[in-house]
Chain A
Amino acid sequence: MITKTVANVEAACLGVKDHMTFMLGGFGLSGIPENCIAQLVHLNVQGVTCISNNAGVDNFGLGMLLQKHQIKKMISSYVGENAEFERQMLSGELEVELIPQGTLAQRCRAAQSGIPAFYTPAGYGTEVAEGKEAREFNGKMHIMEHAFKADFAFIKAWKGDTAGNLIFKGTARNFNPNMCGAATITVAEVEELVPAGDLDPNHIHIPGIFVQRIFQGSTYEKRIENLTVRKRA
């Protein structure tokens, strides 16, 4: 049996270097690889490019790397919750490529599945289309977008097994499955790591072939960004 287990976050992040490109799963703070992000802060890697839908908040998630000026470039779709991000971007300290969310997901999916490029209508006629090939299909204009290239994908799943098979929970799934196998090395951190054979193969969301390293995260804060509740009647 092929085993993907590594002992801890230190082993999981082995080989991470300055100026690399990372993919990081999560939507807002939901489903972010908390343990790997903490390790990237600890390793103090510099000049990295991060592909992630959001940039965390000022003191959590990718916001922690931003505060230490470790990120050279962000590729995201929405960064509205992070004041430090907006400040670094408007002052020119941080290079930012904002792209449509569906395009972000599909560029991950394309990298995962060996598709070098694809056409999408999203962004046609806007500044997102500048410098890109435009082409008409079925009477509608589309632009060509390329698959991402990344060195590491850091993703978070709910449960995983030693063979690297993954199951996600709720909307913490988001970009995580699309980033698995989309980088040279995919590191999966999970809340619960079980022996191969314990998970029902019918319930696996991502097969272990897309994962190189898996470990159980030591702690999960799972911070809620925008708590909204209703009163009991």
Chain B
Amino acid sequence: MALTKEQIAQRIAKEVQDGYYVNLGIGIPTLVANFVRNDINVEFQSENGILGMGPFPFEGEEDPDLINAGKQTITALPGASFFDSATSFAMIRGQHVDLTILGAMEVTQNGDIANWKIPGKMVKGMGGAMDLVASAENIIVAMMHTNKAGASKLLKECSLPLTGVHCVKKVVTNLAVLTIENGSFKLLERAPGVSVEEIQMATEGDLIVEGTIPEMQF
């Protein structure tokens, strides 16, 4: 069975380690916060200017001066801090953030990523994504393996305008966990019940399969 969006987030949460500062993008990445083990200490950064982001507020306690990068009302945890946008991107560009998790429309076997524009159809803007992918050492992309029409989103080359080049190292999809190494996707794990052949069929880019590929553990 292909994973749900929640299960993708749950699998990615296993990559989050004690002491990490983590930036979560909009969409599936936001869900990762719900699955991080509670016996480790992690701080979430939102690029609009908070470190130590907490859960959504209780009804009636929402504050218009306290939102995340998705413009959702949030709370601040003990030890949180607020800062301006230039300082926020100093954290990001200066590689002080340990892990960046973001969504994508397309990724390639070279680590290129496209996630901000569909020419003539959808132009929302890149927000902080270009700064994040250009600077982060440790980027995980959370995405569906194929689009609604069934076409692969793991490609040899992006068809959409790029967000960054040679930057993605790990991809977690509804079908698989993959790394990007030496210009190829490398299959690490399968979603439970999904075969290597199904993953190969859904991957347009070059896919390296070495030995027996285990199923994901949650």
Nearest CB in chain A: distance from B109 CB, A: 16
Question: Cβ of A120 < 8 Å from any Cβ of B?
Answer: yes
Question: Cβ of A100 < 8 Å from any Cβ of B?
Answer: yes
Contact between B70 and A226, CB atoms less than 8 A apart: yes
Nearest opposing residue in chain A for B125, CB measure: A78
Nearest CB in chain A: distance from B15 CB, A: 23
Nearest CB in chain B: distance from A205 CB, A: 8
A98/B82 contact (C-beta < 8 A), A30-B65, A90-B120 known: no
Question: Cβ of A29 < 8 Å from any Cβ of B?
Answer: yes
Contact between B134 and A123, CB atoms less than 8 A apart: yes
Nearest CB in chain B: distance from A131 CB, A: 15
Contact residue among B59, B84, B128 (Cβ-Cβ distance under 8 Å from A173): B84
Report the bound CA distance from A11 to B85 in whole Å.
29
Q: Which residues in B have their C-beta under 8 angstroms from that of A90?
A: 120, 123
Q: Which residues in A have their C-beta under 8 angstroms from that of B62?
A: 224, 227-229
Question: Cβ of A70 < 8 Å from any Cβ of B?
Answer: no
Of the 9-residue stretches B2-10, B144-152, B160-168, B198-206, which lies at the interface with chain A? B160-168
Q: Which residues in B have their C-beta under 8 angstroms from that of A18?
A: none
Contact between A77 and B127, CB atoms less than 8 A apart: yes
Report the bound CA distance from A121 to B56 in whole Å.
33
A122/B67 contact (C-beta < 8 A), A78-B124, A106-B86, A106-B89 known: no
Q: Which residues in B have their C-beta under 8 angstroms from that of A177?
A: 84, 86
Of the 9-residue stretches B42-50, B98-106, B179-187, which lies at the interface with chain A? B42-50
Contact residue among B73, B85, B134 (Cβ-Cβ distance under 8 Å from A229): B73
Interface size of B by CB at 8 A reads 56
Contact between A101 and B66, CB atoms less than 8 A apart: no
Nearest opposing residue in chain A for B165, CB measure: A125
Nearest CB in chain B: distance from A147 CB, A: 12
Question: Cβ of A27 < 8 Å from any Cβ of B?
Answer: yes
Interface size of A by CB at 8 A reads 60
Contact residue among B55, B71, B134, B161 (Cβ-Cβ distance under 8 Å from A127): B161
Contact between B125 and A77, CB atoms less than 8 A apart: yes
Q: Which of A154-181 contact B (CB under 8 A)?
A: 158, 168-178
Question: Cβ of A225 < 8 Å from any Cβ of B?
Answer: yes
Q: Which residues in A have their C-beta under 8 angstroms from that of B165?
A: 124-126
Question: Cβ of A232 < 8 Å from any Cβ of B?
Answer: yes
A170/B134 contact (C-beta < 8 A), A81-B71, A98-B123, A230-B55 known: no
Contact between A28 and B120, CB atoms less than 8 A apart: no
Q: Which residues in A have their C-beta under 8 angstroms from that of B65?
A: 30-31, 158, 169-172, 222
Report the bound CA distance from A232 to B55 in whole Å.
12
Contact between B123 and A171, CB atoms less than 8 A apart: no
Contact between B67 and A79, CB atoms less than 8 A apart: no
Contact residue among B58, B86, B92 (Cβ-Cβ distance under 8 Å from A178): B86
A10-38 contact mask (Cβ, 8 Å, vs B): 1 or 0: 00000000000000000111110000000
Question: Cβ of B130 < 8 Å from any Cβ of A?
Answer: yes
Report the bound CA distance from A108 to B88 in whole Å.
14
Contact between A171 and B48, CB atoms less than 8 A apart: yes
Which residues on B are within 8 Å of A, measured CB to CB? 46-50, 55-74, 76, 82-86, 88-89, 92-93, 112, 116-117, 120, 123-131, 134-135, 161-166
Beyond the given A102-B86, A123-B134, A171-B82, please list 18 additional residue pairs across the A-B interface where CB-CB is below 8 A.
Answer: A27-B67, A27-B71, A86-B123, A99-B126, A100-B126, A102-B85, A105-B89, A125-B164, A126-B165, A171-B49, A171-B65, A174-B49, A175-B85, A178-B85, A224-B62, A224-B67, A230-B56, A230-B58
Please provide the 7 A-B residue pairs with the shortest distance between their CB atoms, ordered closest to farther.
A102-B89, A102-B131, A80-B124, A125-B165, A170-B65, A105-B85, A100-B130
10 A-B pairs whose Cβ atoms sit less than 8 Å apart in the complex: A28-B67, A77-B125, A122-B93, A125-B164, A170-B63, A175-B85, A205-B84, A226-B73, A229-B58, A230-B57
